[in-house]
Structure 1
Amino acid sequence: MVRATDPADGAVPTFSMSERDRRWDLARAFMARRGLDALLVFGEHEDAGPAPFAYDTWFTNGRAGTTVVFPRDGEPVSLLPMEMFTKDHLESARRGDTIWIPPENLRMPRDSRVVAGTLKELGLGKAAIGVVGLEPYPPWHPEGIVPYRLWNTVLAELPAADFTPVAMALSRLIMPLGAEEIAVVRHSAHIGDAMVRAMVETAAAGVPESEVYAAGMAAGHARGTTPAAMHLWTGPDPLASGLPPWSYRPQAPRVLRDGDIVSAEVFSNVAGRHTQHQVTITIGEPHEDLRRAADVARAAYDAGLDALRPGRTFGDVVDDIRRPYADAGGWEFGPAIHTLNPMIAAGGFPNDASRRMAGADTYPPEDGHRPTMAADLELEPGMTFALEPNYVYGRQLAYLGGTVIVGDDDPIELNPYTAQVLRAEGVPARSGRDMSTG
């Protein structure tokens, strides 16, 4: 196992034109192997949050939320959603930023008329075109991201074109990151650790959970990135994972108490390269069941590090990670591992919350088992994974882990700090902070 070191000089890694050429050459070779004349790549809105469908940025190194047309024998054309994107492009060029798509290869907007028109303009009216956006991308897009009306119109405008979904195949092609991308992932992981440390330094009895959330996000922003909204739940025994409830309904954030747990999922994102950090922070002494659960989760984490090696399949890795759970006597809360950059595979787990959680039997029934996604994926150096084992005794959930890169031999562990239960270091308050704005 190799552990990442902190950046020595604080320099921010960037993507060069050589990285652009590496990616575009991969895309052209992919099209040649599959007999494709072009790729049509749909991208999701830039504020999509964790695990976005942002394949467009892999081609453009630009703002997310575009549609890319990439002819095999030409340069990609980027379709923009609105004029603000052209203004940002112009200002970035004026400042001397590295721009991958020149102005003459931009179009606007990205509706069906412009998509069809661009394909015709490039002589692709009767072409074989690989499409990224039609296939499932769970959990957010179980049947793809392309709107029915847009796609129906494109098909009607180009009846002689042969469209083929290629997202899964392209995903596997781009998962092994290049050297410049790995440098960016290391930087993202460093920022993620700083976010978690800020949360640990803030959390204490009497402190509103929103201040812990704010401390983590501020640490990310201060280091030059815009993290996706983190998942955070608190309480003596929270068994949930998602955005804090006060972010989507009008209610006050909880005030932390002695004996509470802060359970969080922190997402760091630098230039479209993502890292993930599983966080369990205790306020005061941890419950004995939490200690036991953490021991099992840590054993699974160590098994994952041993398993993440080139040539193995993702399914093999999942089986190894879950082996410590077999006779432990507790239960597994969620998947213990999934891919990053992009998120196309996730470990299976028994989805038996209705049996384990009081009151869950009144909710719609869930499948008894979540199978492993892309179990046949063969590991290659440069692939990135969120290794996030979890385990529960009673209602005490230990969720820990971080980002791991598959190395040439040993895995590269980027976040050993969060591969353990953490202890809050903030200053306790006599009562909750004044949350009023008046």
Structure 2
Amino acid sequence: MRRSVHTPAPDVASLRARLDRARGAAAKADTDALLIAPGSDLRYLIGQAGGSFERLTTLVVPAGDGTPALVLPKLEAPGYADVPTDELGVELVTWVDGDDPYRVVADRLGGPGRVAVSDTMVALHVLALRDVLGAAEQTLAGPILRELRMRKDAAEIAALRKAARAIDRVHARVGEWLRPGRTEAEVGADITAAIEAEGHTHADFVIVGSGPNGASPHHDVSDRVIERGDVVVVDIGGPIPEGYNSDCTRTYAVGAPRDADVAETYAVLERAQRAAVAAVGPGVRAAEVDAAARDAIAGAGFGEYFIHRTGHGIGLDVHEEPYIMGGNDLRLEPGMAFSVEPGIYQPGRWGARIEDIVVVTEDGVESLNTRPHGLVVLDA
């Protein structure tokens, strides 16, 4: 039997306000209802993420003044026992095997002209809902909900700050494990244990990219044995019990770097990351932050080695809006939280990345990660 994980939820007033804003946003988008599958959107709205299985669970959020309903299998209802449905004004609608849950949803909606489904709703449910909703247009709920989720409130920022401090404590200990003769996987296992010990529910990702593996931004870990002189990219993070995520990268050297160009190249990366953070502020376009980092790296002759966007939003998901990249003219607003993580990756040689989570404030920016940015040269 699969069970939901019970974790702290926002207060009822905050959840009610989110549901109200979601109804209003749906109406503004000329959408009759939102159909929210288990996942981060559901957790944002009712404080419980649940799980997506072959049996349909969905939160039906009518636009305007309609009553939301949580439609779910009766056998899954105990997993939502902590959801304050009465206080939230959410009706609990259960079904049992043999019922048609898609028809249950359709009957509640009447004859909608347009419904928006969660971006991550599985095709099994999307297509079945399409069959019962007839001529209703299906769109994605993401563009509607991201306008709400991008702007973090004080409690969300506090949770992100807590997560950042926890992952900073792990980075402060990396020197205990990163040594010549150990494999990336061995180091990664120690880091994973520390992430959990420092207050995360689990490690969502642990990248230990040593030597040439550091030139692959999403390397993960391998059986490569770490050597004296290696430059090593360590990118780690995960959720704390409140559901909000950490994500922080620092670059280490196991003893003196073997390549003569490391110090000079890394100095370019430091300048780029510093310039990008300094560019953050209310009213600044996301693309301008990306350009601040990219121009510094390209100006030093390393433009071809910076192969990804400068940052991504973070919250209940590790990657969410806003995305800090070229072509994104979104103007930043207070409460938006995202990574600033330029990198320089030289295939076959080594790579480096510096990543902090930052939050836009009323008059500038707050960096949530506070570990030093310089290349950390470990005794070896």
Q: 1:165 matched to which residue of 2?
A: 140
Q: 2:128 matched to which residue of 1?
A: 153
**1:311 counterpart SS class:** coil
Is the aligned partner of 1:189 residue 2:159? Answer: no
**Which residue of 91, 105, 129 corresponds with 1:118?**
105
Q: 1:138 matched to which residue of 2?
A: none
8 Å contact 1:80–1:110 — kept in the other structure? no
**1:403 counterpart SS class:** strand
Map 1:3-18 → 2, pairs under 5 A: 15-18=10-13
**Which residue of 237, 245, 256 corresponds with 1:274?**
245
8 Å contact 2:72–2:95 — kept in the other structure? yes
What TM-score results when the alignment is normalised by the length of structure 2?
0.82
Measure, in 2, the Cα distance between the counterparts of 1:393 and 1:155.
Answer: 47
**2:313 counterpart SS class:** strand
Map 1:220-239 → 2, pairs under 5 A: 220-222=195-197, 223-235=199-211, 238-239=214-215
Is the aligned partner of 1:337 residue 2:311? Answer: yes
Deviations 1:207-251 (A, max 9, x none): 3323321222222212142231323322366311335355xxxxx
Map 1:69-84 → 2, pairs under 5 A: 69-72=60-63, 73-80=65-72, 83=75
Letter in 2 for 1:118: V
**1:28 counterpart SS class:** helix
8 Å contact 1:309–1:406 — kept in the other structure? yes
**1:105 counterpart SS class:** strand
Map 1:279-298 → 2, pairs under 5 A: 279-286=250-257, 287-298=259-270
Q: 2:25 matched to which residue of 1?
A: 30
Q: CA deviation at 1:387?
A: 0.5
Measure, in 1, the Cα distance between the counterparts of 2:360 and 2:260.
Answer: 34
8 Å contact 2:252–2:378 — kept in the other structure? yes
Decide whether aligned partners of structure 1 residues 146 and 300 sit closer, same or farther in structure 2, where only a CA change above 3 A counts: same
Q: 1:313 matched to which residue of 2?
A: 285
Q: CA deviation at 1:106?
A: 5.4
Q: CA deviation at 1:340?
A: 2.1
Decide whether aligned partners of structure 1 residues 172 and 112 sit closer, same or farther in structure 2, where only a CA change above 3 A counts: farther
**2:234 counterpart SS class:** strand
How many residue pairs get matched? 356
What TM-score results when the alignment is normalised by the length of structure 1?
0.72
8 Å contact 1:111–1:150 — kept in the other structure? no
Letter in 2 for 1:225: T
Deviations 1:338-376 (A, max 9, x none): 22235235445xxxxxxxxxxxxxxxxxxxxxxx36x02
Query: Which sits farther off after the overlay, 415-424 or 405-414?
Result: 415-424
8 Å contact 1:188–1:273 — kept in the other structure? yes
Q: CA deviation at 1:333?
A: 3.6
Decide whether aligned partners of structure 1 residues 129 and 377 sit closer, same or farther in structure 2, where only a CA change above 3 A counts: same
Relative contact order, higher structure (CA 8 A, sep 6+): 1
**1:417 counterpart SS class:** coil
8 Å contact 1:232–1:263 — kept in the other structure? yes
**Which residue of 355, 370, 375 corresponds with 1:421?**
375
8 Å contact 1:129–1:163 — kept in the other structure? yes
Is the aligned partner of 1:55 residue 2:41? Answer: yes
Decide whether aligned partners of structure 1 residues 289 and 153 sit closer, same or farther in structure 2, where only a CA change above 3 A counts: same
* Structure 1: gaps of 5 or more residues: 1-11, 45-53, 94-98, 135-144, 247-252, 349-371, 429-438
Deviations 1:66-89 (A, max 9, x none): 532212334433345794x53443
8 Å contact 1:77–1:105 — kept in the other structure? yes
**2:362 counterpart SS class:** coil
* Structure 2: gaps of 5 or more residues: 1-6, 53-57
Map 1:352-367 → 2, pairs under 5 A: none
Letter in 2 for 1:30: A
Letter in 2 for 1:284: G
Q: 2:3 matched to which residue of 1?
A: none
Measure, in 1, the Cα distance between the counterparts of 2:141 and 2:33.
Answer: 11
Query: Which sits farther off after the overlay, 177-186 or 33-42?
Result: 33-42
Decide whether aligned partners of structure 1 residues 262 and 31 sit closer, same or farther in structure 2, where only a CA change above 3 A counts: same
Q: CA deviation at 1:409?
A: 0.8
**2:239 counterpart SS class:** strand
Measure, in 1, the Cα distance between the counterparts of 2:224 and 2:98.
Answer: 44
8 Å contact 2:213–2:219 — kept in the other structure? no
Deviations 1:110-154 (A, max 9, x none): 99942442241x2x13124441435xxxxxxxxxx4444533332
Deviations 1:370-424 (A, max 9, x none): xx36x02121101011110112467332211210011111201011316332233
Deviations 1:46-101 (A, max 9, x none): xxxxxxxx322211211343532212334433345794x534434xx4xxxxx344
Q: 1:353 matched to which residue of 2?
A: none
Measure, in 1, the Cα distance between the counterparts of 2:147 and 2:372.
Answer: 28
